[in-house]
Amino acid sequence: MEKIIKPLSGYILILIILGLIPVAIFSFIGEQLIMGFGAVFLFFLGVPGFFIVEPNKAMVLLLFGDYKGTVKASGFFWVNPFMTKKKISLRVRNFENKPVKVNDKIGNPVMIGTIVVWQVDDTFKATFDVDDYENFVHLQSDAAIRKMAGLYPYDDFEAENEEITLRSGVEEVNHSLEREISDRLNHAGIKVIEARISHLAYASEIASAMLQRQQATAIVAARQKIVEGAVGMVEMALADLKMKDIIEFDNEKKAVMVSNLMVVLCSDRSASPVLNVGTLHQ
């Protein structure tokens, strides 16, 4: 479990350590060799105990393999020179996972890339519970992406009953991804600040077919709206002609007019009119 400590100030101890230098010099001059060698020994013994902690960094301290604590305060300090010191960055870091091929809920291969923003929260876990916490972050993020992708379909073309899809439910999917990565990285003392999808597309082997399918769906939907509008316009035109008593149609002529109006209104090209110089019955 992480233990925060604050060691002795290095500014006080450095004055004491530097004070050993004149002691050693005067001892050798006065031929007090034992005191002189003792001062030199203490000087070289004490120097390795100094260390500097920069802002948003920490120093993990061990004494003969025993965890003694973590220094998170920035400054100049001194500890037992026999302690082993390991520096860890507490700064916010982010990395972008290159798009990986995964299968969505219904088995379609899709390419998903993510951005993960994280930082070390527990230095004890990051140092001793995993071998390499940076590599652990990358591998577990990749595993979380694969699991999350299997929970949702890419879109609702083949899963009409799904309320959330990878393409439309961006916020929900990002929250799900963030929770999954956080649960996995908690074992390493890593705090996930944000996780979101940065790239989403069908895999190359089905991308062309899916694009044609989307285009066909869009065309059908557009045609449906056009037909609905055309039927309303034809109905309105017949009603106005009848109400204003402009012309009377029998069923056959009404069918011909409806057919012509539907062709004109629903065609994707401009109509080419044909002039009738005879009667309505020719």
Per run of 10 residues, the mean pLDDT along the chain (length 282 residues) is 88 88 84 85 89 93 92 92 92 87 83 91 91 90 88 69 74 89 91 89 68 64 72 75 68 69 65 58 51
Domain end point (choices 148, 173, 202): 202
150 and 239 share one domain: no
Residue 82 has a pLDDT of 92
Structural domain total, the chain: 3
179 and 232 share one domain: no
Residue 252 lies in a domain: yes
Residue 85 has a pLDDT of 92
Q: What's the 3-state SS for 48-62?
A: HHEEEECCCEEEEEE
Residue 78 lies in a domain: yes
Residue 3 lies in a domain: no
Residue 271 lies in a domain: no
Helix (H, G, I), strand (E, B) or coil at 47: helix
83 and 53 share one domain: yes
| Among 126, 131, 136, 129, CA closest to 90 | 126
Domain end point (choices 88, 114, 129): 88
Residue 162 is part of a domain; what is its CATH number?
A: 3.30.479.30
63 and 137 share one domain: no
Angle (nearest 5°) at CA 89 between 83 and 92? 160
Residue 237 has a pLDDT of 73
Q: Is 28 exposed, middle or buried (0-12, 13-18, 19+ CB in 10 A)?
A: middle
102 and 132 share one domain: yes
Residue 27 has a pLDDT of 83
Domain end point (choices 65, 88, 111): 88
Separation CA 7–CA 274 (nearest Å): 98
This prediction has a pTM of: 0.67
24 and 38 share one domain: yes
139 and 170 share one domain: yes
Q: Which two tokens stand for residue 181?
A: 């990565």
59 and 101 share one domain: no
Separation CA 4–CA 51 (nearest Å): 16
* Cβ-contact 118, 96 below 8 angstroms: no
Residue 60 has a pLDDT of 94
Residue 255 lies in a domain: yes
Residue 152 has a pLDDT of 83
Residue span of the structural domain in which 236 resides? 216-266
79 and 159 share one domain: no
Residue 210 lies in a domain: no
Residue 233 has a pLDDT of 77
57 and 81 share one domain: yes
